[in-house]
Structure 1
Amino acid sequence: MSEKACDHHESDRRKIARRCCAGLLIFSFIFLVIILLIWSILQPRKPRFTLQDATIFNLNVSAPNVISTTVQVTVNSRNPNSKIGIYYDRMNVYATYHNQQITYYTVIPPVYQGHKDVNVWSPFIYGNNVPVAPYNGVALGQDKSNGAISLTIKINGRVRWKVGSFISGRYHLHITCPAYIPLGNSKNTGIVIGNAVKYQLSQSCSVNV
């Protein structure tokens, strides 16, 4: 085969490769535009979380800087979207007091939430002899004496959105639920359940995605 023929075949291969690359880029661009159009038309909204209640089994200060906690919380999540499903991927629940974590992480298993569906979780969160700043131990004791404690229940995890057969990448999910508990208050509305007291809260949570 002559050198001219080889050059001709090499030129043809380059043209085919360029056309394939151009076609792939155009297809990817069109696919991305379609996804963005669908996304903007459907207008996905964040899930809505509510802290329904908290059952206190234990919340004690055993030293100025040591707190032990056992609490069961009930949290519900509602998907407000009519055409978008939500995958919750491994969520961690824990409690804080004055911005300091006082329990370990409790894991909520992954779950899929359909259109307009509601999911309810009732995890136990606890921490035994958790060291805290001395002023927080003193403050917790004072709050109990005053008849009310303000905890914060936090949930961190990741979510994915499902539109038809398309599933998005993972997005960070941060949920903050204030829990004002009238613990130690003689006029509290808690319900005694065995060795625990259950408080109805119905508190809306802030959600960041």
Structure 2
Amino acid sequence: MTSKDCGSHGKSRRKIVRRVIWTIIFFLFIVLLAILLVWAILQPSKPRFVLQDATVFAFNVSGNVLTSNFQITLSSRNPNDKIGVYYDRLDVYATYRNQQITFPTAIPPTYQGHKEINVWSPYVYGTAVPVAPYNAVGLEEDKDHGAVTVTIRADGRVRWKVGTFVTGKYHLYVRCPAYINFADKPAGVNAVKYTFTSSCSVSV
């Protein structure tokens, strides 16, 4: 075999490799374009969360340490009629002035179908949780005035399901304000239930 034959054989192989690569790129482009078109047509909406109520069993500030115990009722509605939602991870906790004051409570992974509503009632608590000095002072002052505003947060990961196609994971951030009026607590009662039915801010 001459060197000329080897050269033409090498060029032919490179052309085949290029064609295969361009075919793969074109195929991936078509698939991604189809997914984007379907996504744009369906126009997915974020889940809607509502903090329905909270039962307060304990809320005690001692120095720079806080012990608290809530049971909350949190509902989520999927507003989409063609898209399902996988909640792969969802941790619920409470904050005061942007400082976390309870341990995170994990909600079991679940799937939410079209237009479905899920309701969770986790316990959110923290025992002897250190609080920043300025927040400890704020908590004491708020309790003395009879009311404390905390934020119930839910952070997690979700995936969207369209037909048989499931997307990658997206971060989910939920913020629900809760106004706790300690002046409403009757003497001798250990637990008080507060009804909110307030909408939460949701970002994905």
TM-score normalised by length of structure 1: 0.91
Letter in 2 for 1:97: Y
Letter in 1 for 2:200: C
Letter in 1 for 2:94: A
Q: 1:66 — aligned with what?
A: 65
Q: 1:200 — aligned with what?
A: 195
Once the two structures are TM-superposed, the CA of residue 205 in structure 1 deviates from its matched residue by 0.2
Q: Is the 8 A contact 1:97 1:151 kept in 2?
A: yes
Q: Which runs of 4+ in 1 moved over 4 A?
A: none
Once the two structures are TM-superposed, the CA of residue 159 in structure 1 deviates from its matched residue by 1.1
Q: Is the 8 A contact 1:146 1:185 kept in 2?
A: no
Tell me whether 1:5 sits opposite 2:19 in the alignment. Answer: no
Once the two structures are TM-superposed, the CA of residue 113 in structure 1 deviates from its matched residue by 0.9
Q: Is the 8 A contact 1:145 1:184 kept in 2?
A: no
Once the two structures are TM-superposed, the CA of residue 179 in structure 1 deviates from its matched residue by 0.2
Matches within 5 A, 1:152-163: 152-163=151-162
Distance 1:4 1:138 in 2: 87
Q: 1:142 — aligned with what?
A: 141
SS of structure 1 residue aligned to 2:182: coil
Unaligned runs of 5+ in 1: none
Q: 1:16 — aligned with what?
A: 16
Q: 2:106 — aligned with what?
A: 107
- CA displacement 1:137-180 (0-9 Å, x = unmatched): 23223322322211100111111111111111111111100001
Q: 2:130 — aligned with what?
A: 131
Distance 2:51 2:130 in 1: 26
Matches within 5 A, 1:158-169: 158-169=157-168
Q: 1:28 — aligned with what?
A: 28
Distance 2:97 2:12 in 1: 70
Letter in 2 for 1:14: R
Distance 1:5 1:99 in 2: 73
Matches within 5 A, 1:156-195: 156-185=155-184, 195=190
Q: 2:51 — aligned with what?
A: 51
Letter in 2 for 1:4: K
Unaligned runs of 5+ in 2: none
Tell me whether 1:98 sits opposite 2:93 in the alignment. Answer: no
CA RMSD of the aligned region, Å? Answer: 1.7
Once the two structures are TM-superposed, the CA of residue 108 in structure 1 deviates from its matched residue by 1.3
Distance 2:183 2:153 in 1: 23
Tell me whether 1:83 sits opposite 2:89 in the alignment. Answer: no
- CA displacement 1:80-131 (0-9 Å, x = unmatched): 0010111112111110112211111111121111111111111111111111
Distance 2:138 2:35 in 1: 52
Distance 1:114 1:107 in 2: 21
SS of structure 2 residue aligned to 1:129: strand
Tell me whether 1:151 sits opposite 2:150 in the alignment. Answer: yes
SS of structure 2 residue aligned to 1:82: coil
SS of structure 2 residue aligned to 1:75: strand
How many residue pairs get aligned? The number is 203
SS of structure 2 residue aligned to 1:184: helix
Distance 1:135 1:30 in 2: 56
Letter in 2 for 1:102: I
Letter in 2 for 1:61: V
Letter in 2 for 1:36: L
